[in-house]
Amino acid sequence: MESILVPVLIAIVVFSAYLGIDAYFSKQQRLQQLKKTTSVAEEYYSPEGEEELVELTDELSSEARFVEGLLRGMGINVDAAKKQLRPKMQHAGINSPDAPAFYLIYKNCVGYLVSLLGLTFFLSEDQTSMIYVYYIVGLLMTIFGVFGAQLYVKNKTDNRQKKLLRAFPDTLDLMVVCVESGLALDAALARVTNELGRVFPEINEELGRTRLELTLLNDRTKALLNLGERTNIVAFRSLVAALIQTERFGTSLSDTLRVLSDDYRHTRLMIAENKAGRLPALMTIPLVCFLLPALFIIIMAPAALKIQAQGGFFGNN
């Protein structure tokens, strides 16, 4: 078993290192080309914005093109699958154009290989106590191979949406302050990303990408709509609708943001009250499972010990 597992793990590590190094140099090359062909301000070339700037090109790396060729050779409709997967990847914060190709190759090829490798642990002839370790490792590898990609994307999406919702009220308050001080929308977004970048990196990434799209795309409405599509959160869709209304009809941006901030704070208070109202029902299960048995032991143990000491309910007679 060890003679098979060690070479496989070494091959996986070497191949992953090669993909990482090649992707890094490919990204740097595309970034230099994009700098020459666009006239974006120098502030957008900061380390925080380089990745978003490269991802806006939607240009696949050489590895992703190779993977897509393999998938087409397997009879998979790559274009239709990418069209369905791209929104899910964006909801998880994975904006790289290469992500759908790697997701598909894992789900249709690599995942099955990992599952088969995990099943080999069940064929081990070791009859010592290590046999249970082999079974557990094999089961985990099988589950990871079959459901690993879906679980990773879903878990990343849920965590990201929670963090974005946590950062949304502070973002709105800071945007209101920036707009009331006389800053335009682009400058307000730049100020918000600078102030909240270390505290809320997820909101910094989304607003930074929106700021880049407002600069590069000809349609500002499309750039704002992309923010709502990437986050897939009602609060951000409301913000996008308010910003589009301001861009289209020339209404007061500060008044719109203030109303939206007050409305969301009331919504957040209602959510907190709802969670507080559910606490008694949620506490019932741990109370029954942990507190009630201990209470029975405290009440019944003295009587049980006394009955045992006297030889039964009626004593020795």
CB 232 within 8 Å of CB 218: no
Tell me the residue range of the domain where 110 lies.
Answer: 2-154
Structurally, the chain folds into a number of domains equal to 1
Q: What count of other Cβ atoms lies within 10 Å of the Cβ of residue 244? A: 15
CA distance 311 to 305: 10
Q: Is residue 55 part of a domain?
A: yes
- Residue 315 has a pLDDT of 62
CA distances from 107 to 153, 210, 303 (A): 12, 31, 61
Q: Is residue 230 part of a domain?
A: no
- Residue 155 has a pLDDT of 92
Rg, the chain, Cα only: 28
pTM here? 0.71
> Residues 132, 137, 138, 142: what is their CA dihedral angle, to the nearest 10 degrees?
140
Q: Is residue 97 part of a domain?
A: yes
Q: Is residue 238 part of a domain?
A: no
Q: Is residue 192 part of a domain?
A: no
Q: Is residue 20 part of a domain?
A: yes
| Angle at which helices 62-73 and 2-37 cross, to 10° | 120
- Residue 30 has a pLDDT of 62
Q: Is residue 21 part of a domain?
A: yes
Weakly modelled stretches of the chain, pLDDT under 70: 1-9, 12-13, 15-16, 18-20, 22-58, 124-129, 313-317
CA distance 56 to 27: 12
Q: Is residue 74 part of a domain?
A: yes
- Residue 12 has a pLDDT of 66
Residue-wise pLDDT tens digits, 3-43:
565 666 677 667 667 666 766 666 666 656 655 554 444 44
